[in-house]
Amino acid sequence: MAERILLLQGPVGPFFRRFAAELASAGCEVFKINFNGGDAACFRGPNAVDFRGRPGEWRGFLQDFVRSRQIDRIYVFGDTRAHHRIARDVARELGIRFFVFEEGYLRPDFVTLEEGGVNGESSLPRDPDFYRWQDAETLAPRRVGNVFGRTAWHATVYYIATTLLHRRFPHYRHHRRTALVPEALAWLRSLARRLAHRGSDRALLRALLDGHSKRFFLVPLQVHCDAQVVVHSPFCDVSEFIETVARSFARNAPADRVLVFKHHPLDRAYRDYGALLGSLAAELGLGDRLRYAHDLHLPTLLRHAEGVVTVNSTAGASALLHGVPTKVLGDAVYDLPGLTSQCPLDAFWASPEAVDRDLYRRFSAYVRRSVLANGSFYRALPGVASPSGICWVSTQHLPHSLRFALGTQHGVRVQPRPAVATPARPRTTADAVARPSGAEVPAAARRAAGRAS
């Protein structure tokens, strides 16, 4: 009997349409629920249904839909959107398997697909000893290449359609701003800021490489609306994270060390932390020891950094790849003893813990084999003939009929995941900064108790 698959909201662009074609080619019956005009523009067909109700009506709508269509699996992109959180609850109630796509834990050549949840809800083991027994060998991925232009194009089309068809979905509220004119102005502002900072970035890079190589700490910032910060960390926003890190550095770092905050390129249009950093530098007496970079090449910075501090950015995984000691203040799947520094943040500046390179190789190889797929959401992987444009490294999260069609049911054998006890999660910013070991951050009831007090 053909498996019945329901797709909810996907990445901007045609990926879910391509994924549905691959599922259908394997004999699955695929349904899609659209929430806004962008969804509708990217996915049309007889099995595409619009949800036009109010947020409070979504749970009942979905329950009726999955029961009447006898849905076997649900696939979504991102598990922190309100309608996807409700969908996960409904799936659990009704015994339906729930799968989440996300940007790759390891980038740039992978996307993530996990059952149950990703990031703070990931089922990846948090015990480093589990990974020490894993095979470190893995095939090199096919290169995705630069997809920024294609991503920008898909986002533009998506948000134009969302705006033009807003009356068709009167109650929909997106997790990001979608108005056309403000977004267009934001892109122009981004370009202007990039040009304005080009000279100062070059001067800063020369200063870091010539005078501070291996004597500066890098803090790669995340976008202001990143669910990793908003949901899977103890911080209210990026500004609070910046202040926490700067104050700890001022109190505890050796006097000849420099702290460099690097702006996220996709957040250039929406936030500028120059005023905040200037104020902190003056208040804390840091002067030129506190620096602000905008568009510097991340791998170059990592090769010369003494350490990295992050909430839970994938830049932290890149730091581990380069062997750079890393301190995580949120919840990250790579925050494991042996990989990241487990000391409190105040102690990190003077004694960053080295990365166990062998453990990282085994960890990254296991993650690739178990929850990553080689490719991009925003364009088909060159040389891959499948409709989705993805090279499925692991097929364990795909419907059985598609696994059979791909001919990989006898391919890489993924080790079963043992039940692994996880440490207590910090409930306040102070707990996250001071905790002596890698710990998770609350995914659902985040910060509520700590912030109410």
User: What pLDDT, in 10s, does the model give residues 357-389?
Assistant: 999 999 999 999 999 999 999 999 988 888 999
The set of long-range contacts for 319-328, using a CB threshold of 8 Å and a minimum separation of 24, is: 319/218, 320/355, 320/360, 321/360, 321/364, 323/354, 323/355, 323/357, 324/218, 324/355, 325/352, 325/353, 325/354, 325/355, 326/355, 327/352, 328/438
| 8-state DSSP, 399 | -
| 8-state DSSP, 115 | E
Pick the CATH number of 194-361+424-442 from 3.40.50, 1.20.120, 3.50.40, 3.90.75: 3.40.50
Of 295, 311, 299, 304, nearest to 242 (Cα)?
Answer: 311
Q: Return the structure tokens found at 2.
A: 């053909």
Cβ pair 340, 320 in contact under 8 A: yes
Q: Return the structure tokens found at 452.
A: 């109410």
Distances, alpha carbon 52 to alpha carbons 160, 167, 271, in Å = 18, 10, 32
| Common-topology check for domains 4-150+371-406 and 194-361+424-442 | yes
Cβ pair 334, 361 in contact under 8 A: no
In degrees to the nearest 10, what's the CA dihedral of 294, 295, 299, 301?
-40
The set of long-range contacts for 353-356, using a CB threshold of 8 Å and a minimum separation of 24, is: 353/325, 354/323, 354/325, 355/320, 355/323, 355/324, 355/325, 355/326
Cβ pair 244, 329 in contact under 8 A: yes
- State the pLDDT at residue 394: 79
Cβ atoms < 10 Å from Cβ of 226: 21
Measured CA to CA, the distance from residue 347 to residue 307 in angstroms comes to 12
Per-residue pLDDT tens over the stretch 12-38: 999 999 999 999 999 999 999 999 999
- State the pLDDT at residue 383: 84
Question: What are the φ and ψ backbone dihedral angles of 18, each rounded to 5 degrees?
Answer: -65, -40
How many angstroms separate the first and last alpha carbons of the chain?
54
Query: Nearest 5 degrees, angle CA 299-CA 301-CA 305?
Result: 120
- State the pLDDT at residue 408: 45
Mention every residue, 6+ apart, whose C-beta is less than 8 A from residue 410: none
- State the pLDDT at residue 175: 67
- State the pLDDT at residue 277: 97
Q: Return the structure tokens found at 142.
A: 């096919």
Residue segments in the chain with a per-residue pLDDT below the cut of 50 = 408-427, 436-453
Highest CATH level, class, for 4-150+371-406:
alpha beta
Cβ atoms < 10 Å from Cβ of 67: 12
Domain range annotation of the chain: 4-150+371-406, 194-361+424-442
Question: What are the φ and ψ backbone dihedral angles of 218, each rounded to 5 degrees?
Answer: -105, 135
Strands 372-374 and 110-115: antiparallel
Q: Return the structure tokens found at 259.
A: 């702290």
Mention every residue, 6+ apart, whose C-beta is less than 8 A from residue 426: 234, 432, 435, 439, 441
| Amino acid identity at 413 | R
- State the pLDDT at residue 178: 61
Q: Which residues pair with 75 in a beta bridge?
A: 7, 99
